[in-house]
Structure 1
Amino acid sequence: MGAMVKANLEAEGFAVAWETSGEGGLAAHGRESADLVVLDLNLPGMGGFEVLATLRRRADKVPVIILTARSGGEDRVRGLSSGADDYVTKPFAMLELVARIQAILRRSEPEAPFQRTARSGPYRIDYLHFTVFRGRTDLGLGLKEFRLLEVLVAHPGRVHSRADLVNLAWEADARPTLRTVDRHIHALRKKLGDSDENPAIQTLEREGYRWTLPVKR
């Protein structure tokens, strides 16, 4: 789960330090202060609640999102009253987690610029409204198609295997087949008006897909 969250957040452009224990997380944060902490509760050694209490006892105001399988109301109340900024339970949608992270970062750093759009070739990508335009035309992408496009555009030129796209574009509890990825890519290319001669999304047999156009953010 930690590896999946790390990969998804890196695909969104975040720099991520992943630690598998409470003590390790506090030490990493001490070496280089994080802008935000995603905190599990069921950690070996020092548990998540103790990590949170330690941060707040030190007057550390780093935003904290608790990400846990413990969905009980008592745990949620305890987490939020102890100083957590948000509480997300598993299973969860990565898009929701990313949106919550971005919302908290915007609140905690109001002067920080938030990337609303990007341009790539003839396409304008609106991250705020999950839409893609070609000229003035909204291409009508579904949420999954937009998510696949978002992952590919985040690293133009990088080959993403079908398994990578499953991990990055689908929710943690989803189990789509690799052929499902192909079908969604086919639908995405059709809506983009992508050509086989000069494709924006290039297919590499047995390897996966990559975005070929330069991106201006």
Structure 2
Amino acid sequence: MTAAPLKVLVIDDEPPIRKLLRMGLSTQGYQVLEASNGKSALEMLGEHPDLIILDLGLPDIDGHQLLANLRSRAEAVPIVVLSSRGDEAGKVRALDLGADDYITKPFGMEELLARMRAALRHQLQVQGERPVFRVGELSVDLVRRIVKLGDQDVKLSPKEYDLLRILVQHAGKVLTHKFLLNELWDDLTDAQYLRVYVRQLRQKVEIDPERPQYILTETGVGYRLRAPD
């Protein structure tokens, strides 16, 4: 029996963008649902989409307000923001409101598809809570708290391990500086503390810390751990 195609809800008020996404996603086996405004997008949640692609510049509802509304109604559904707004403050706000990723227009279809796959893998990981995470040469046993790079054990400080654990639990998702600071220190707001620990962690888990393969920087926004291939 063939599995039902994954449903992707595209929310964008530009017909050419919707057409481009409909054609690109359909050829990859996705079932595409479309909404041209916030009101119809909320109604389309009744179709139970597996992933949402959201443009923030809609005619009837503020994009960030709609994002918060979608996240409250569909807590487990990955949301990828696809927007012409490239300002860092807007990106950070969208990610803090629950977006799984943020891509600016113009965009490449291959990159969008890769980000979608990462968001869907993260959703499955959260639901399954796999005890051992593996990507490339890096493995993290969340039960026994064992970290390996290839066959070599990696010794981490408690704070370094906490940072890695949070990244693993959200692998494939962009985590903002604010989110990570709140998770790790509660009362700290200076992202420099976070940068220091990310640099230390990269020295231990990256094959080449100057060209990281696993802990990726989203400039001005935060960090993302590469999802398993």
TM-score, length-scaled by structure 1 = 0.48
Which is higher, the Rg of structure 1 or of structure 2?
A: 1
RCO (CA 8 Å, sep 6+): is it higher in 1 or 2?
A: 1
TM-score, length-scaled by structure 2 = 0.46
